[in-house]
Amino acid sequence: MLTRQHAETASGLLWTHWQEGTRLAALPAQVRPATRAEGYAIQAELEKRSQAPLYGWKIAATSIAGQKHINVDGPIAGRILAERVRDAGAPLPFGGNAMRVAEAEFAFRFGHDLSPRAKPYSVPEVLSAVGTLHPAIEVPDSRYEDFVTVGAAQLIADNACAHDFVLGEAVSADWRSMDLIEHKVTGTVAGKLTREGKGANVLGDPRVALTWIANELSQLGIPLKAGQVVTTGTCVIPLPIVPGDEVACDFGKLGGLKIRFADR
């Protein structure tokens, strides 16, 4: 069983590799999480290293293909640190990003808190706490040399492959009355590669994904707080990127956004 000191040590290793853009094969055996709960305990220590209040949360592996890709049996949650939220108007640093993909996602900003409780939250209860919907782009990465083999507990410890995040403008359309399941989203890279997806690719419905994380955090005793953003996972097959690329994600009536990566 991991102690608090073990979790601090593991998070320190992951944090150092994150900041330096380097990789490790796996966490050392003596501080390696064996369960999802231990992974989340390490992840919580990462948050303490941030210099700002937590910006929000991400969900990874919200599709069967995504789960198979990283060898997990279900979605996992990660923290979006304020330092990693980027402005779409400025070039995003590419650095040593090894995953080299961008993801088009539905993101929800909460209007009021959802406190932990014993009874699972329903979709309507979670949506009643949401203030706004936004198009978003996540740029994930991992601190592991081979993230597909380390397992769910270590991936959770590594913040569920969180890295950079860009939030679009709040949707002005009446999204609550729309069919987000069949809503189409298009992602384009450098004007030459285009992929299309829809909301159903996110646990069948991005609102279901949002409810999943509300209950995942509730079980861990963690509240979702007003002002925090939850991005619900890619609804388009991840878009391959290289330095200098521009990525555009079109959410139709829900808006869209563009980002550009620096040349290195």
Ranges of H-type helices in the chain: 4-20, 36-48, 64-70, 123-128, 152-157, 206-219
Residue 74 to residues 11, 29, 69: CA-CA distances in angstroms? 23, 24, 11
pTM above 0.95, yes or no: yes
Digit-coded pLDDT (tens) for 30-84 = 999 999 999 999 999 999 999 999 999 999 999 888 888 888 889 999 999 999 9
Q: What is the mean pLDDT of residues 186-209?
A: 96
| Residue 173 pLDDT class (50, 70, 90 cuts) | very high
Q: What is the mean pLDDT of residues 7-16?
A: 98
Digit-coded pLDDT (tens) for 228-264 = 999 999 999 999 999 999 999 999 999 999 999 999 8
Q: Cβ distance 212 to 102 under 8 Å?
A: no
Residue 54 CA to residue 153 CA, distance in Å, equals 21
Digit-coded pLDDT (tens) for 78-106 = 999 999 999 998 999 999 999 999 999 99
Residue that is written with structure tokens 């501080």 in the block: 31
3-state class of 117 per DSSP? coil
% residues pLDDT > 70 (the chain):
100
For the chain, give the mean pLDDT.
96
Angle separating helix axes 36-48 and 4-20, nearest 10 degrees: 60
Closest to 235 in 3D by CA, of 143, 140, 112, 104: 104
Report all structural domains of the chain as residue ranges with CATH numbers, in order of start: 52-260 (3.90.850.10)
Residue that is written with structure tokens 């290793």 in the block: 13
